[in-house]
Chains A and B, each alone.
Chain A
Amino acid sequence: MRRLLLGLALIFMLVLPLWGNNYIIRLTTMMILYSVLSLSWNFIGGFTGYPSFATASFFGLGAYAGAISQLHGVPMYLAWIIGGLVAAVFAAALGLAILHLKGHYFAIASLVVAEVLREIVNSWTDLTGGGMGLNLPILRLDVDVQARLFYYSMFGLAIMTIIAASYVSNRRLGFGLRCIKQNEDAANMIGINTTIYKTSAFVLSAVFVGYAGAFYASWVNYIEPGDVFDILLSVKPIVMVLLGSAGTVVGPVVGAVIFLFLEEMVWRNFLTFHVGVLGLLVVCLILYLPDGLLAVDFRRFIHLKGSR
């Protein structure tokens, strides 16, 4: 049953661009991008239980690395890979520096890094264009073809992320990370090298996001520091994961889909208050649905109805 559903979803996603208009395709591309962000955050936040707010750093870093390499003549696909690698290397270094912090201290340190990076990008005008942002070379392709090209590229990345997530989830690494989440000292005692495990999770949470950032830069053709280092980029994946279910593979994807759906509804109806409505969503989520949608036993409702 579950396999059948997954297969149907996969086929649906594959044939969607054949009939969808450009609005639908753009929206679903965004949805897949969100899924990549939430799946990535899930490595460090869901499996390991570290409240990371570093997603915006990785995204922005990847976006700028990709954009700058493209402006220096690197082909687009290669530039995306560079974006992912730069983010991964940065995450490894940052992880070694701040992963020994716990709780709030880790959260703040990861949060502040994005601000510092944004300031650096803002001031380093020669390389990054500063606050003016960067314009990327425009693809000489038909608009419809472009939309589908980006859709399938993003979809490929999402599949890679899902494979990585289920691989980690079922193997030694995922087991070790769950141990760390429950009790780090005990995990250390039973022989898990917590530093290596945590850093691996942090790098995993960065590499796909960096790639997605570089992809985003090519997709929208223009980036500026305030856009790609936006703090909301760190918060949204957390909300998506909590909406789905933390520490699972399907949860973040479900969360991302629902989140985008809500966002699209909200964005349209509350032009000046959309951030406020997002806040309201977060508050309700934490208070009434703390373990996510997947943890809700829907059969209970059906059963209740039947018995009455």
Chain B
Amino acid sequence: MLILQILVNGLVLGGLYACIAAGFSLVWGVLNIINILYGSFIIIGSYVAYFTYNYLGIHPFLSVTIAAVVLFVFGYLIQAGIINRVVAAPVLTTLTLTFGLELLLNNSLLVAFTADYRKVILENPLGILDMGGIIVPLDKLATMALALLLTGLLYWVLNASRIGRGIVAVRMDREAAALMGVKVKQIYAITFGLGAVMAGVAGSVMSVIFPISPLNNIVFLSKAFVICVLGGLGSVTGAMVGGLTLGVIESFGGLIFGPEHAMTLSFILLILLLIFRPTGIMGKKGYE
């Protein structure tokens, strides 16, 4: 029974993780850029949810749309204005650049919102679902469902829309895509914007469950890393598989080693994976 309960907890958590990682994986896969800003993007999304709920009374599940718009614009501008200038440079350059941007952004968030932990406390919680002894708070379940839905939406955008096909084309072969008339730099900016959108909506829905503070950026960022390495790079399916796997592993790890070591556990897992199987458990590059 305990095992089942922990499995369910892990899957609920994993749904959120999938949503966190999808955008990160997209940017990494298409632009070959590690977006160190990602953790702070998630936090901005959470703040959007927090403030729209507390001052305008909009439920976090609805304010995802606001978070999406805000972060798309923000992400698009950062890529089009700054990162696009060095996008083809070696790894060290782009990595250091996003790191610098992250120092700037996160410090601004700290100054603007202080380091206080805030949380969206819903006035009418949905209650608890009891399935023969396995207990799941309905808010959490709804959050997970929404997160998975949004991840699915990204999958649909990439596969069915014109822009999505452009993104996939650039990911597969930049030069060929450019010859076919795809505006590569614009696709980069849109991709980065979409990545930011995924961060924002993840942060927005998560605000119901996790406390919000600018200090959380490293936690989210490292989760995204681990999931990408677990599931393989650049595909939405990979992010799903990686996210759910990490959620389950963390739940069981928390049971065995104590919840305070969950983070260390995922880091050790990351290093081991990188040493022995850098292509992820799926084992292939995903060009969906």
Residue A68, interface by CB 8 Å: no
Closest to A181 in B: B90
> Are A238 and B92 in contact (CB-based, < 8 A)?
yes
Q: How far is the CA of A103 from the CA of B90 in the complex (A)?
A: 8
Interface residues of A in 58-100 (CB under 8 A from B): 97-98
Interface residues of B in 103-127 (CB under 8 A from A): 103-108, 110-111
For A104-141 the 0/1 string (1 means CB < 8 A from B) is 11011100110110011001000000000000000000
Residue A173, interface by CB 8 Å: no
**Hey, which bits of chain A sit against chain B, CB under 8 A?**
45, 49, 51, 97-98, 101, 103-105, 107-109, 112-113, 115-116, 119-120, 123, 235, 238-239, 242, 272-273, 275-276, 278-283, 285-287, 290
Q: How far is the CA of A85 from the CA of B92 in the complex (A)?
A: 28
Contacts A286-B93, A287-B85 hold; do A105 and B100 have CB atoms under 8 A apart? Answer: no
> Are A283 and B267 in contact (CB-based, < 8 A)?
no
B34 contacts across to A, CB distance below 8 A: 104, 107-108
Q: How far is the CA of A103 from the CA of B271 in the complex (A)?
A: 15
> Are B263 and A283 in contact (CB-based, < 8 A)?
no
Pick from A109, A279, A286: contact of B103, CB below 8 A.
Answer: A279
> Are B263 and A49 in contact (CB-based, < 8 A)?
no
Residue B3, interface by CB 8 Å: no
Pick from B32, B89, B104, B222: contact of A280, CB below 8 A.
Answer: B104
Q: What 10 A-B pairs are tightest by C-beta distance, nearest first?
A: A282-B100, A279-B103, A276-B107, A279-B104, A119-B264, A51-B92, A103-B91, A283-B100, A286-B97, A279-B100
Residue B101, interface by CB 8 Å: yes
> Are B92 and A45 in contact (CB-based, < 8 A)?
yes
List 8 A-B residue pairs with CB atoms under 8 Å apart, sorted by A's residue number.
A51-B91, A103-B91, A104-B34, A108-B229, A239-B96, A275-B103, A280-B104, A290-B89
> Are B93 and A290 in contact (CB-based, < 8 A)?
yes
> Are B100 and A108 in contact (CB-based, < 8 A)?
no
> Are A116 and B28 in contact (CB-based, < 8 A)?
no
Q: How far is the CA of A175 from the CA of B98 in the complex (A)?
A: 31
Contacts A112-B270, A113-B271, A290-B89 hold; do A279 and B96 have CB atoms under 8 A apart? Answer: no
Contacts A273-B111, A287-B86 hold; do A279 and B102 have CB atoms under 8 A apart? Answer: yes
A119 contacts across to B, CB distance below 8 A: 261, 263-264, 267
With A276-B111, A287-B86 already in contact, 15 other A-B pairs whose C-beta atoms are closer than 8 Å = A105-B278, A107-B34, A107-B91, A109-B270, A109-B274, A109-B275, A112-B267, A116-B264, A273-B107, A280-B104, A286-B86, A286-B96, A286-B100, A290-B89, A290-B93
Residue B176, interface by CB 8 Å: no
* Least CB distance, A305 to chain B, in whole angstroms: 29
Q: Which of B91, B93, B103, B110 is packed against the most chain A CB atoms within 10 Å?
A: B103
Residue B172, interface by CB 8 Å: no
* Least CB distance, A50 to chain B, in whole angstroms: 9
> Are A276 and B108 in contact (CB-based, < 8 A)?
yes
Residue B82, interface by CB 8 Å: yes
Residue B136, interface by CB 8 Å: no
Interface residues of B in 240-274 (CB under 8 A from A): 261, 263-264, 267-268, 270-271, 274
> Are A283 and B97 in contact (CB-based, < 8 A)?
yes
A273 contacts across to B, CB distance below 8 A: 107-108, 111
For B26-56 the 0/1 string (1 means CB < 8 A from A) is 0010001010000000000000000000000
Residue B61, interface by CB 8 Å: no
> Are B103 and A278 in contact (CB-based, < 8 A)?
yes
Q: How far is the CA of A115 from the CA of B93 in the complex (A)?
A: 23
* Least CB distance, B192 to chain A, in whole angstroms: 16
Q: How far is the CA of A45 from the CA of B108 in the complex (A)?
A: 29
Residue B225, interface by CB 8 Å: yes
> Are A280 and B100 in contact (CB-based, < 8 A)?
yes
> Are B278 and A116 in contact (CB-based, < 8 A)?
no
Contacts A49-B90, A283-B104 hold; do A101 and B274 have CB atoms under 8 A apart? Answer: yes
Q: How far is the CA of A276 from the CA of B97 in the complex (A)?
A: 13
A242 contacts across to B, CB distance below 8 A: 96
B107 contacts across to A, CB distance below 8 A: 273, 275-276, 279
Q: How far is the CA of A104 from the CA of B101 in the complex (A)?
A: 17
B28 contacts across to A, CB distance below 8 A: 104
A287 contacts across to B, CB distance below 8 A: 82, 85-86, 97
B103 contacts across to A, CB distance below 8 A: 275-276, 278-279, 282
Residue B74, interface by CB 8 Å: no
Q: How far is the CA of A149 from the CA of B263 in the complex (A)?
A: 41
Contacts A103-B91, A276-B107, A276-B108 hold; do A116 and B267 have CB atoms under 8 A apart? Answer: yes
Closest to B103 in A: A279
Q: How far is the CA of A279 from the CA of B106 in the complex (A)?
A: 10
Q: How far is the CA of A287 from the CA of B111 in the complex (A)?
A: 25
A103 contacts across to B, CB distance below 8 A: 91
Residue B99, interface by CB 8 Å: yes
Contacts A279-B103, A283-B101, A286-B86 hold; do A272 and B111 have CB atoms under 8 A apart? Answer: yes
Closest to B274 in A: A109
> Are B268 and A116 in contact (CB-based, < 8 A)?
yes
Residue B95, interface by CB 8 Å: yes
> Are B222 and A112 in contact (CB-based, < 8 A)?
yes
B100 contacts across to A, CB distance below 8 A: 278-283, 285-286
B90 contacts across to A, CB distance below 8 A: 49
Contacts A105-B274, A273-B107 hold; do A279 and B267 have CB atoms under 8 A apart? Answer: no
Q: How far is the CA of A52 from the CA of B91 in the complex (A)?
A: 11
Pick from B86, B89, B102, B271: contact of A116, CB below 8 A.
Answer: B271
